[in-house]
């Protein structure tokens, strides 16, 4: 049996153990379990990343004591596991231009703390942006193959379907987020609609690349998400949903006949749903609930009459 007499013969996982022990001070035995030759840390880190991405569309629906949301907890675990994998590997994927620009934006946001009038709010925003940058790095470092990229897109699409199902449940229960507007628990309708709309081009792409019955699963996912977007009654999300179908036009030549037919049919259903199933216009609201329309109008007039002056620029605009 060969023994490792030279430093160059030392296994890579042993070097990783030494680095992690030096950084964290954790016992070598525990690190051997994490990073040894038969370690499960690599598949565990990938599974945590997929679980984290799956939870993003419904991140505000489930709270985790001490860390905020369940999605935030998944993100922390995924980042920790991904960092261990990177140390074990001994290298990270070189950043691209987008990563560099994102890092500069986070740095600038942090520097605005020096002249911000609301330093606490600026600090919280900077921390949030840093967490988003860490998520981008984690995805960039882990998704090095087309298969992994596909798996992560699948995770987001099915997470959006799960969030849409939660919206349908609240709709059938009559639990409105705002008047005639429905979302998954914890969300603002506009934010939720945009999160869902982002999954539509991903699902169309997956349907284009998949084969057999899987194609129809992704098309059904698009129909499910579109229905939930209509229930949010968000004009911004509706515009984003229409924009998502630009992917179908972009890939029209590459697509086969069924992909073209299904994309056109889904777009037609979106237009029909907007015309027939979206919440009633203001004229009807005035007949059904005039007090709500009057309240909204008076509030809007007050806000327009007295626009708040801008006092300082930080990573957000701060008002008096």
Question: How many angstroms separate the Cα of 281 from the Cα of each of 68, 134, 289?
Answer: 37, 42, 12
38 or 92: whose pLDDT is higher? 92
> Is residue 56 a part of any domain in this protein?
no
Over residues 80-104, the mean pLDDT reads: 90
Q: Is the pLDDT of residue 298 over 90?
A: no
With cut-offs at 50, 70 and 90, classify the pLDDT of residue 251: very high
Give the tokens for residue 174.
């009559």
319 or 150: whose pLDDT is higher? 150
> Is residue 248 a part of any domain in this protein?
yes
> Is residue 166 a part of any domain in this protein?
yes
In percent, how much of the chain has pLDDT > 90?
59
pLDDT digits (tens, 9 = 90+) for 163-193: 999 999 999 999 999 888 999 999 999 999 9
> Is residue 67 a part of any domain in this protein?
no
Task: Please count the structural domains in the chain.
Answer: 1
> Is residue 59 a part of any domain in this protein?
no
Over residues 97-117, the mean pLDDT reads: 93
> Is residue 194 a part of any domain in this protein?
yes
Q: Is the pLDDT of residue 223 over 90?
A: yes
Q: How high is the pLDDT of residue 195?
A: 96
Longest dimension (CA), the chain: 87
| Domain encompassing residue 257 | 144-281
> Is residue 13 a part of any domain in this protein?
no
**How many C-alpha atoms does 101 have within 13 Å on its Cβ side?**
3
Which residues are CB-contacts of 122 (< 8 A; sequence separation ≥ 6)? 109, 112, 113, 116, 314, 315, 316
pLDDT digits (tens, 9 = 90+) for 205-221: 999 999 889 999 999 99
List 310's β-bridge partners, or say none.
319
Q: Is the pLDDT of residue 2 over 90?
A: no
Over residues 25-42, the mean pLDDT reads: 59
Residue by residue, DSSP assigns 121-173 as HHHHHHHHHHHHHHHHHHHHHH--SHHHHHHHHHHHHHHHHHHHHHHHHHHHH
CA distance 85 to 238: 40
With cut-offs at 50, 70 and 90, classify the pLDDT of residue 89: confident
pTM of the model: 0.78
> Is residue 24 a part of any domain in this protein?
no
């Amino acid at each position: 049996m060969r023994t490792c007499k030279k430093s160059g013969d030392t296994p890579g996982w042993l070097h990783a153990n030494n680095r992690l022990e030096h950084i964290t001070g954790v016992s070598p035995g525990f690190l051997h379990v994490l990073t040894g030759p038969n370690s499960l840390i690599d598949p565990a880190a990938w599974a945590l990343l997929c679980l984290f991405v799956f939870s993003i569309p419904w991140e505000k629906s489930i709270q985790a004591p001490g860390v905020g949301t369940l999605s935030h907890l998944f993100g922390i675990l995924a980042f920790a596991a991904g960092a261990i994998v990177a140390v074990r590997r001994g290298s990270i994927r070189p950043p691209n231009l987008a990563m560099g620009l994102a890092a500069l934006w986070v740095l600038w946001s942090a520097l605005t703390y020096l002249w911000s009038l609301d330093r606490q709010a600026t600090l919280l925003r900077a921390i949030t942006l840093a967490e988003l940058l860490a998520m981008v790095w984690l995805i960039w470092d882990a998704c090095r193959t087309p298969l992994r990229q596909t798996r992560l897109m699948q995770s987001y699409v099915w997470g959006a379907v799960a969030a849409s199902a939660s919206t349908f449940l609240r709709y059938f229960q009559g639990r409105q987020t705002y008047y005639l507007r429905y979302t998954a628990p914890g969300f603002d309708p506009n934010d939720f609609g945009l999160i869902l709309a982002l999954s539509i081009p991903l699902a169309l792409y997956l349907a284009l690349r998949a084969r057999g019955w899987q194609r129809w699963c992704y098309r059904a996912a698009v129909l499910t998400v579109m229905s939930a977007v209509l229930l949010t009654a968000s004009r911004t999300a509706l515009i984003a949903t229409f924009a998502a179908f630009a992917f179908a036009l972009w890939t029209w030549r590459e697509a086969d006949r069924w992909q073209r037919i299904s994309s056109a049919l889904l777009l037609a259903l979106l237009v029909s749903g907007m015309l027939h199933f979206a919440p009633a216009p203001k004229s009807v609201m005035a007949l059904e609930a005039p007090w709500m329309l009057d309240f909204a109008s008076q509030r809007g007039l007050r806000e327009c009459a007295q626009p708040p002056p801008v006092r300082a620029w930080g990573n957000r605009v701060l008002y008096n």
